[in-house]
Structure 1
Amino acid sequence: MKYKLIVSDMDGTLLGDDHQLTEENKIALSKALEKGVKIVPASGRIYDSAKEHFDFLDINTPLIACNGAIIKETKTNKLIYKNSVPNDICLKIIDVFEKNEVYYQLYSETTMMCKNLSSKDKQKTRERLKNFFNDNVNVHFGDDLKEEVSKHKILKLIAIDDDDMDKLRRVREDLSKIEDIEITSSWYNNIEIMHKGANKGEALKALIKYLGIDREEVIAFGDNYNDLPMIELAGLGVVMGNADEAVKEKADYVTSTNMEDGVAKAIYKFLEI
């Protein structure tokens, strides 16, 4: 078979709008696995949050989390690759967030940290997080998240604002002055920051070296800007129908939307199963 590895984004790609893996995508992934194709999730999510969606396959597979900042195996928890943000850079990024009064989160391997909010906003945030984090993920609310930087190896920082795009633009401008970071976005309302060299493309490079396969043997699926490094690296880069036009332009093939089982349709087409 020409393709030996499927690497796929989750939210907006493999998952439906309810943030659950669709039944047809489950079937397609299982059939690909039966054909000897390796399946690897590649998510912006924290590791444990991404891992739970693939328990149905009952396999030990590498999993790319935090936009490529870490790769671990799902059964053994073996660490394959990790690129955390140095503490001094984390503090500079937090200064930008605080200056612009934007809501933000920090991700470590096992913990998501949020700035303390009012009781009403905290409850709203907890409800929102239920879409992305299971009960096994440790969510910490704190008054001073700079204190947490010294306690955790931070893999990703994210700023979020649903309404004020000008604020996000100012945040991005200020972040551009900080050296040795990767800046991307996985949705219209966020900015995601990792250490230099931490992106899904670099993670895929590390993974194919680890697995001993060629990039031409990889199909990569995604729907947003943080997926582009792996989309462009893979032998076949597939972008979802729900992606922005600028993302679609980088694709080798545009499939149906995440709500129309676009991943499954592309698997059936290119693996001929």
Structure 2
Amino acid sequence: MKNIYITDLDHTFLRSDLSVSDYTKKIWNSYENKAILGIATARTYKKTAQFLEGVHVDAPMILLDGALIATMDKKIIDTKFINKEMGDIIIDVGAKLGIFPFVLSLVDSELNEAFSYSTILNSYQSEIIKRYVNDDHTQVYKNIRAQENNFKIVYMADEPILEELQREVKKIFGEELKYILAPEAYMGCYFLTILHKDADKSHGIKSVSEAVGFDLNRLTVFGDNYNDIGMFELSDVSVAVANAQERVKEKADIVLPHSNDEDGVAHYLEELLDG
């Protein structure tokens, strides 16, 4: 039976400039016939497919923190949505605190996505939006509302205001939703991601395991941030890159000497080949 390798993207597999080095592609792709290879990311299908051009992925991808499980050829395996009513309530709670979210939604069964945001942005959000200036799936609203099928609602701000927002939303929905409050490694802020209660990478791995039929005892995962901890706990071997958050390193079986910018995942896999 084959081993399984599933990696996070941002700050783990991708370099800080959002590229995948030729070295990483070479080593990762050398496992094509030796293992099952997969991705678990907070990114959308579209962005993930763009970043992974030339990278072999044969397992269904865990996307949007586990809210979407889909293959590279756009076959949807599973979805976990926040409905419009809940989404609008979340947006209204944030508005009372003076902050507005990014809303990531499914438009149709062809995996067309909507990335919605408000005309009112803080400095962190404004910086992020610069990266999406040429994307055709962004939608800006003076009065932002949720869509029918929302993968996740994401706020970026300083930690104290996001902690307050999380408390206020939890007063309404409790454990009906999942909340991930984590640092953004390179922008000096935090983000609060709000999802369906079963939308996370660990649930995603279970869905992929059922779809592909692999043994979790042969699973190795790679990550750097808090949303990776669930899959760390589920895997046989969990690997944190050198630049991972300290709390993530504490949960990992292995902490690499190399960061994402030093091709940490590829170095680890190459050592396995040499061993």
1:247 aligns with 2:243: no
Aligned equivalent of 1:263: 265
Instruction: Give the aligned length.
Output: 260
Do the aligned residues in 1 keep the contact of 2:27 with 2:270 (CA within 8 Å)? Answer: yes
Question: What SS does structure 2 have at the residue aligned with 1:213?
Answer: coil
Distance in 2 (CA, whole Å) between partners of 1:42 and 1:252 is: 18
Deviation at 1:72, TM superposition (A): 0.8
Question: What SS does structure 1 have at the residue aligned with 2:42?
Answer: coil
Cα pair distance change 1:28/1:175, threshold 3 Å: farther
Aligned equivalent of 1:218: 219
Deviation at 1:209, TM superposition (A): 1.2
Cα pair distance change 1:58/1:202, threshold 3 Å: closer
Deviation at 1:201, TM superposition (A): 0.4
**Which consecutive unaligned segments of at least 5 residues does structure 2 have?**
107-112, 185-189
Do the aligned residues in 1 keep the contact of 2:115 with 2:137 (CA within 8 Å)? Answer: yes
**Which consecutive unaligned segments of at least 5 residues does structure 1 have?**
none
Counterpart residue type for residue 162 of structure 2: L
Distance in 1 (CA, whole Å) between partners of 2:239 and 2:30 is: 19
Cα pair distance change 1:253/1:222, threshold 3 Å: same
CA RMSD of aligned residues (A): 2.3
Which has the larger displacement, 121-130 or 4-13? 121-130
Distance in 2 (CA, whole Å) between partners of 1:86 and 1:195 is: 9
Aligned equivalent of 2:143: 144
Question: What SS does structure 2 have at the residue aligned with 1:187?
Answer: strand
Distance in 1 (CA, whole Å) between partners of 2:248 and 2:167 is: 22
Question: What SS does structure 2 have at the residue aligned with 1:176?
Answer: helix
Q: TM-score scaled to structure 2, two decimals? A: 0.87
Q: TM-score scaled to structure 1, two decimals? A: 0.87
Do the aligned residues in 1 keep the contact of 2:91 with 2:100 (CA within 8 Å)? Answer: no
Aligned equivalent of 1:85: 82
1:22 aligns with 2:21: yes
Do the aligned residues in 2 keep the contact of 1:44 with 1:186 (CA within 8 Å)? Answer: no
Distance in 2 (CA, whole Å) between partners of 1:166 and 1:186 is: 12
Residue of structure 2 aligned with 1:165, choices 159, 163, 181: 159
* Superposed CA offset, 1:224-243 (max 9, x none): 00111111111111111111
Aligned equivalent of 1:197: 198
Percent sequence identity is 26
* Superposed CA offset, 1:183-207 (max 9, x none): 1145342011110111000000111
1:63 aligns with 2:72: no
